[in-house]
Structure 1
Amino acid sequence: MKHPQRPAHHRSRGPGRLTGLLTALLVVLGLSGTALAAPGGTARQAPAAVQVPARAMDAVAAMQPSWNLGNSLDAIPDETSWGNPRATRELFRTVRSQGFRSVRIPVTWSAHQSDAAPYAVEAAYLSRVKEVVDWALAEDLYVVLNVHHDSWQWVEKISQDHDRVLARYQALWTRIAAAFRDEPRALLFESINEPVFGDATPARKTELMHELNTSFHGIVRASGGRNKDRLLVLTTQGGTPSQELMDDLHTTITALRDRHLIATVHYYSWYPFSVNVAGGTRYDAAARNDLTDAFARMRDTFTSKGIPVYLGEYGLLSWPDHFHPDRVERGEALKYFEHVGHAARRAGVTTALWDPFAYLDRATLKWRDPALFAWIRSSWTTRSGTASFDKVYVAKSKPVTAQSLTLHLNGTTFRGLWHAGTKLAEGRDYSVFGNRITLTARTLTRLAGDRDHGINATLEARFSRGLPWRIDVVTYDTPVLSDATGSATAFAVPTRYQGDQLATMEATYGDGTNAGPTGWTPFQEFNVAFSPDYPKGTIVLTRAFLDALREGGTAHLTFHFHSGAKVQYKVVKSAGSVTGTAVRES
């Protein structure tokens, strides 16, 4: 990832200073693999590692599933700068106990490496990285160690300052390779994270990517020790799984004639869905096909030809975000994670969850959302059934009628519906025709109870395997917006949500052009141009959206809600103020 999510601010106790200083001294002396006397006189040996299969394909398969220590050692300038506590051995023990078999430890070296020849690396920082790596290895985890945000901090300048950047990159990997040359083979090296090359031509970018990967390979192999047959991970430009860029990487890997090489790419879903822009509010056919095609390309380009693939990062961009409303509707996100696990198993790809702080709370060592993690974990081994949505909306202002959903069986068999531990009766409470399930009006009336706005009941659709699909029965009325005034830097639309939730916002001017910072689509980006504030009863139009408004122009907004309701609103920016007007139905 290029941009950090802002994590919660916690701190924890770090390692003893004496141990760290002694380790740093040994690194400087080139004795980093030597046993280190810890406080109290006990020798700390390089940890015993898992037994790594000889074949790269088998080794990478044994690494499934994997987890990223994101926003820690890759944070800028230091490990706790982005809010995570210092990593501990207990963290890796927890990760291992939760079923992970490998960890990716992203490291940004820029603040700890001189930018002038000979491009020295701070011994204390290298010692800290080694300490964290050794803790993970000691917990019987494979470890992938890399060069991370350096890619956009200084490596990106290689197209303009080739010789100096390449010399720094080579010096960095020379130092890393020397420091870790005697580590167990369960430690893997990854050349660089998501490299980009500025304004270079496509052909030149291909050359530069090849040069970085092959330079990294040559340095590590020449450093001796266990680096002679260590598994090495080579990336595409940007970590992108496009066919052209994976073909380039395939060419590089085959030309190196090294059976210990691994291809890596990243996958964050179809972009409109991943960030909720351009109307990408559902995990629809476009999003599903994007994922299916990406994993098919990984299989056809690499794994079917004996080259293993390590999916170094996957997830949804900026989701979950525990500091802002969810961009992606929860059930739709669960469908994505379920699909990733299935597609990866079919393609023979090992997956590494990108976790900047959002999944595992590193202060408590507990999952922030255990139910979400249950879906991720289940996807590693089996499929789960889902449905077209995870809510059934019942309008309070109208008589209750039957409601239908489409079941997505995903190779399972539907076993029935449950409410509060009791199985509902097919034919009386609901009916099934093909893959369509319909809840009767009588059952919905009973489940809605006194019909307060919001969730009245939760059902479970159970299948022959995998996790049950939860369906909320929600009473709602069409949200009501009110007139408001504000400044050109702060404006919020008073909103009575009435049990509904905001899905997206469409913004245009009277001439049909798009309004807002995302000019290529009328559907603006969730939490970037607008954001619901449910506790305060408003929809916030962000500074970015307000800045993009034309002076004196009327922007016509359509707020789309998950019930299917659409509500119109107008805003005008003039002389430092913003006026909002609700559009009344005629």
Structure 2
Amino acid sequence: MKGTHHSTGRRSRGPGRVLGLLLALVAAVSLTGTTALAVPRHDDASSARLPRPTAASVDTVAAMQPSWNLGNTLDAIPDETSWGNPPATKALFDTIKAQGFRSVRLPVTWSGHQSSTAPYTIDATWMSRVKQVVDWALADGLYVVVNVHHDSWQWIASMPTDHDNVLARFKATWTQIAAAFRDSSQALLFESNNEPQFDNTTDAQGNQYNDELNTAFHTVVRRSGGNNATRLLMLPSLHTNAGQDFLDILVREMKSLNDPYLVATVHFYGWYPFSVNVAGGTRFDATAQKDMTDTFDRIRTTLTSRGIPVYLGEYGLLSYPDHYHPARVEAGEALKYFEQFGQEARAAGVTTALWDAFNFLNRSTLQWRDPELVKQIKSSWTTRSGTASSDRIFLAKSAPITPESLTLNPNGTAFRGLWQGSSKLVAGRDYTVSGDRLTITDTALTRLAGNRAYGINAVVEARFSRGLPWKIHVTTYDRPVLSNATGGTDGLTVPTLFRGDLLATMEATYADGSNAGPTSWTPYQEFNEAFSPDYPGNALLLTSKFVNSLRDGAQATLTFHFWSGATETYRVTKSGNSVTGAVG
């Protein structure tokens, strides 16, 4: 995964990663139509004879579940601490082991520690550091994956115009890695190349280059002998994309190598509009759910049902959680995503590695930044949990309290009731259930709202027969109040009284009906990229990226959508280097 700079200096994704994601989105959309890629269809790949993976290969990958990524550390550019994380320590892996993880993926970027010309020598100090970190993890009884990571977009991507040099450097890189770890235990696995991508190529061309690199990787490692002769080797699809065409080609590659010690690897970050909150993708809705289900169905049908072990080397939501910016994805919607992800992975027999750039585990304190989110992720490793249509009930302070309803999603469990702390709410008096419709009475909500201060007044839990309870935040609000503002090309700060409400998305259009903003293919702009709420500062921020994309002299109409259901209209006009905003 790549990075864009946060104000703290941390990174979580970058140009190559965004390109890969956009290609993945296009590929996902193309699955419903025709494709120009002339490759065997799924039926052809399914009928091909593959060397049957050894029981040890399948069992090893299964034993690696669950897995965790040491992201933005050994892969940081130019050095281990450049992207804001402290150096990895033995205590870090002690913590990961104690938290129930059975394997770790150690992304490594070699380019900054390697000569860029033949013989492409890797600095001995860097190799020693990587080996030290690997050995710490192995000593904790963890399986370990080592790869070639951001090199994929730093120099490997230029293979179409610099073929021979890139191939030579790639072989030299793996020759040195293989030699350094030749005698390491079989608990160490190698991964060819992270998110393979190639500049200015079609998918057909990219697949050819990826196949060439995977084959070179396989040949170099196997010829190095020692434990590398039967070490498990991970082969990625182009972009680590799980679209059907990409999986079919990966199967064909594995067949051609005729090696039972191979593992397929792909990544998953969800339906792109939901993952980054753009184009109105505020909810883990039917479209986002189907994207996930379809992905795992393809993986199961094409790979795991045929005995091919799959290591899903990265998963999560893009830039979520961030902890340095307001959350793009609403907390309850994210919980639903991770809950279903765990179920889909278990059903497909896939080992999954959580991408953690810094956002889940605080590497300085070795504490989880969002314990509730991690609880849901951990729970999903073994069971399902019930959820609901929302994790909030909004009560307008300016109006009388009335009964409020949510839709329960039991996910195969049975609803057991509502609790506030250790106190069980009374069915019939405090709430009713009709089918999957949960209604909390006005009497109960009045009690829960208390003095009706803006924000969360109380939390109740919907408990189910297994898994985690679903928390419902009873929240008092009134319509947000925006004020006029002036600014410049560095952005516009709109004074805003949120009054207990939360921002969901922003719609931007011109008077002629065309879309305003940098994301021109949709009126719904990207959260934190075009706009962002500043709750402590009582402001809505329109970023420099957004205001600089506006037509000079043309008024843009912004519609802010809030989670309570409220909407507020705002007018913005850019004139030269000046930007003005007005209510209504």
What TM-score results when the alignment is normalised by the length of structure 2?
A: 0.91
User: Which stretch of the first structure deviates more once superposed, 230-239 or 360-369?
Assistant: 360-369
Residue in 2 that maps onto 1:571 = 572
Q: Deviations over 1:416-436 (max 9, x none)?
A: 000131111111111000011
1:232 aligns with 2:233: yes
| 1:104-123 map, 5 Å | 104-123=105-124
Report the 3-state secondary structure (helix = DSSP H, G, I; strand = E; otherwise coil) of the residue aligned with 1:528: coil
Residue in 2 that maps onto 1:389 = 390
Distance in 2, Cα, partners of 1:575 & 1:523 = 24
Alignment-mate amino acid for residue 226 of structure 1: N
Distance in 2, Cα, partners of 1:278 & 1:455 = 28
Distance in 1, Cα, partners of 2:365 & 2:342 = 27
1:265 aligns with 2:266: yes
Residue in 2 that maps onto 1:526 = 527
Identity %, equivalent residues: 63
Report the 3-state secondary structure (helix = DSSP H, G, I; strand = E; otherwise coil) of the residue aligned with 1:159: coil
Point out the structure with max Rg over C-alpha.
1
Alignment-mate amino acid for residue 432 of structure 1: V
Distance in 2, Cα, partners of 1:272 & 1:561 = 18
Distance in 2, Cα, partners of 1:442 & 1:235 = 57
- Kindly tell me: are residues 557 and 8 of structure 1, through their superposed partners in 2, closer, same or farther at Cα, counting changes over 3 Å? closer
Distance in 2, Cα, partners of 1:408 & 1:451 = 28
| 1:451-466 map, 5 Å | 451-466=452-467
Distance in 2, Cα, partners of 1:126 & 1:449 = 60
How big is the shift at 1:187? 0.1
Residue in 2 that maps onto 1:446 = 447
Report the 3-state secondary structure (helix = DSSP H, G, I; strand = E; otherwise coil) of the residue aligned with 1:340: helix
Alignment-mate amino acid for residue 103 of structure 1: V
How big is the shift at 1:144? 0.3
Q: Deviations over 1:195-219 (max 9, x none)?
A: 1111123322111111011110011
Report the 3-state secondary structure (helix = DSSP H, G, I; strand = E; otherwise coil) of the residue aligned with 1:55: helix
Distance in 2, Cα, partners of 1:94 & 1:445 = 44
Distance in 1, Cα, partners of 2:258 & 2:498 = 61
Residue in 2 that maps onto 1:3 = 3
Report the 3-state secondary structure (helix = DSSP H, G, I; strand = E; otherwise coil) of the residue aligned with 1:405: strand
How big is the shift at 1:8? 6.3
Residue in 2 that maps onto 1:125 = 126
Report the 3-state secondary structure (helix = DSSP H, G, I; strand = E; otherwise coil) of the residue aligned with 2:159: helix
Residue in 2 that maps onto 1:329 = 330
Residue in 2 that maps onto 1:497 = 498
Alignment-mate amino acid for residue 201 of structure 1: T
Distance in 1, Cα, partners of 2:81 & 2:204 = 39
How big is the shift at 1:55? 2.1
Residue in 2 that maps onto 1:61 = 62
Residue in 2 that maps onto 1:561 = 562
Distance in 2, Cα, partners of 1:380 & 1:105 = 21
Distance in 2, Cα, partners of 1:428 & 1:389 = 22
Task: Report if the CA contact (8 A) 1:7-1:357 is conserved.
Answer: no
- Kindly tell me: are residues 228 and 5 of structure 1, through their superposed partners in 2, closer, same or farther at Cα, counting changes over 3 Å? farther
Report the 3-state secondary structure (helix = DSSP H, G, I; strand = E; otherwise coil) of the residue aligned with 1:266: strand
Task: Report if the CA contact (8 A) 1:7-1:358 is conserved.
Answer: no
Residue in 1 that maps onto 2:90 = 89
Distance in 2, Cα, partners of 1:68 & 1:488 = 38
Q: How many residues are treated as equivalent by the alignment?
A: 541
Task: Report if the CA contact (8 A) 1:5-1:356 is conserved.
Answer: no
1:434 aligns with 2:435: yes
How big is the shift at 1:9? 8.0
Distance in 1, Cα, partners of 2:419 & 2:138 = 44
Distance in 2, Cα, partners of 1:4 & 1:188 = 29
Distance in 2, Cα, partners of 1:388 & 1:370 = 22
Structure 2, unaligned runs of 5 or more: 11-53
Distance in 1, Cα, partners of 2:397 & 2:235 = 57
Distance in 2, Cα, partners of 1:284 & 1:143 = 35
Report the 3-state secondary structure (helix = DSSP H, G, I; strand = E; otherwise coil) of the residue aligned with 1:560: strand
Alignment-mate amino acid for residue 117 of structure 2: A
Residue in 1 that maps onto 2:171 = 170
- Kindly tell me: are residues 501 and 549 of structure 1, through their superposed partners in 2, closer, same or farther at Cα, counting changes over 3 Å? same
Distance in 2, Cα, partners of 1:485 & 1:361 = 38
Alignment-mate amino acid for residue 502 of structure 1: L
How big is the shift at 1:559? 0.1
Q: Deviations over 1:449-476 (max 9, x none)?
A: 1111111111000000000000001111
Distance in 2, Cα, partners of 1:273 & 1:490 = 25
How big is the shift at 1:7? 9.3
| 1:71-220 map, 5 Å | 71-220=72-221
Distance in 1, Cα, partners of 2:410 & 2:577 = 54
Task: Report if the CA contact (8 A) 1:571-1:579 is conserved.
Answer: yes
1:401 aligns with 2:402: yes
Alignment-mate amino acid for residue 463 of structure 1: F
Report the 3-state secondary structure (helix = DSSP H, G, I; strand = E; otherwise coil) of the residue aligned with 1:331: helix
- Kindly tell me: are residues 178 and 166 of structure 1, through their superposed partners in 2, closer, same or farther at Cα, counting changes over 3 Å? same
Residue in 2 that maps onto 1:352 = 353
Task: Report if the CA contact (8 A) 1:6-1:82 is conserved.
Answer: no
Residue in 2 that maps onto 1:373 = 374
Q: Deviations over 1:280-313 (max 9, x none)?
A: 1111111111111111111111000110100000
Distance in 2, Cα, partners of 1:391 & 1:444 = 12
Distance in 1, Cα, partners of 2:548 & 2:515 = 14
Report the 3-state secondary structure (helix = DSSP H, G, I; strand = E; otherwise coil) of the residue aligned with 1:292: helix
1:508 aligns with 2:539: no
How big is the shift at 1:6? 4.4
Report the 3-state secondary structure (helix = DSSP H, G, I; strand = E; otherwise coil) of the residue aligned with 2:228: helix
Alignment-mate amino acid for residue 351 of structure 1: T
Alignment-mate amino acid for residue 447 of structure 1: L
Report the 3-state secondary structure (helix = DSSP H, G, I; strand = E; otherwise coil) of the residue aligned with 2:324: coil
Task: Report if the CA contact (8 A) 1:4-1:356 is conserved.
Answer: no
Alignment-mate amino acid for residue 285 of structure 1: A
How big is the shift at 1:523? 0.2
1:536 aligns with 2:537: yes
Distance in 1, Cα, partners of 2:160 & 2:394 = 54
Alignment-mate amino acid for residue 146 of structure 1: N
Alignment-mate amino acid for residue 319 of structure 2: S
Report the 3-state secondary structure (helix = DSSP H, G, I; strand = E; otherwise coil) of the residue aligned with 1:556: strand
How big is the shift at 1:367? 1.0
Task: Report if the CA contact (8 A) 1:383-1:466 is conserved.
Answer: yes
Distance in 2, Cα, partners of 1:200 & 1:563 = 45
Distance in 1, Cα, partners of 2:394 & 2:8 = 34
What TM-score results when the alignment is normalised by the length of structure 1?
A: 0.91
Report the 3-state secondary structure (helix = DSSP H, G, I; strand = E; otherwise coil) of the residue aligned with 1:567: strand
Residue in 1 that maps onto 2:39 = none
User: Which stretch of the first structure deviates more once superposed, 476-485 or 179-188?
Assistant: 476-485
Aligned-residue RMSD, C-alpha:
1.2
How big is the shift at 1:371? 1.6
Q: Deviations over 1:370-422 (max 9, x none)?
A: 12111111110010000000000111111111110000101000000001311
Alignment-mate amino acid for residue 107 of structure 2: P
Distance in 2, Cα, partners of 1:513 & 1:545 = 15
How big is the shift at 1:4? 5.4
How big is the shift at 1:359? 0.8
Residue in 2 that maps onto 1:486 = 487
Alignment-mate amino acid for residue 129 of structure 1: V
Report the 3-state secondary structure (helix = DSSP H, G, I; strand = E; otherwise coil) of the residue aligned with 1:188: strand
Task: Report if the CA contact (8 A) 1:9-1:84 is conserved.
Answer: no
Alignment-mate amino acid for residue 352 of structure 1: A
